[in-house]
Structure 1
Amino acid sequence: MKGFKQFLMRGNVVDLAVAVVVGTAFTAVVTSLVANIFTPLIAAIFGKPDFSDLTFKINGSIFRYGAFINSVIAFLSVAAVIYFVVVLPLRTLAERRARGQAVPEEDLVLTDEARLLTEIRDLLAERRSGA
């Protein structure tokens, strides 16, 4: 039991569990956005919000290509939301940080360890410049 408890308490397992929960919640938000915003928008443009009734028959077999069209539209809508709401803003933020346009250092909240390391760095820099 001790080994199992250590396994569960490792940071990776907890991080993964949090990621799954947040991912599930985010999936609900994106699904709602697609169903309640993008699907009516598509209906306004194309005049039909649901293509699932589109079918054709060959030798008694029914091909529901409308359901496939719905799935493709849902996938493309979700992919667009993920890209424009998550990926693009994070990429822009990373580029700003790389160019030095990140949050000014004085606006960051530093831990005690970080403050101590900053003081040590500054003292070493003074010692080098004074020697």
Structure 2
Amino acid sequence: MTQRSNTLEVAYRAFGHFQHGLATGEWQAFIDLLSDDFTFCFPMGPYRGFNKGKERAIAFFQYVAETFKEGLSLTLDRVTSNETTVVFEFRDEGLLLGEPYKNRVAVSFDLRGDRICAYREYFGSDGKSN
């Protein structure tokens, strides 16, 4: 198995757990794939900017679960990858604190072996579906 195919296999497994977390608020399977030195960047709110550590990530995903209590549905649009990074572009929708929500999102996973060592999220949309 090549490095790139292993990276894709791990990333798709992680993305499945990520999607499950958004839908249900259950993040443990995704968290179990994070490296101990995990870092993440988020574009807004209390976790805006650079964040470091698995404990900080656990708090972040709890925050996401509380923000989207009813869960989000996701439609995957595109996947781009190299030997160590995989970017998933998707549309999501649901309720944000009880209000209708739609967005276009890109999440980037950096991988080291069978662990996610970094996560970056980018989003922004006028709410219209394309």
- Give the alignment's TM-score, normalised by structure 2: 0.28
Relative to its length, the structure with more strand (as a share) is 2
Relative to its length, the structure with more helix (as a share) is 1
- Give the alignment's TM-score, normalised by structure 1: 0.28
More RCO (CA 8 Å, sep 6+) = 2
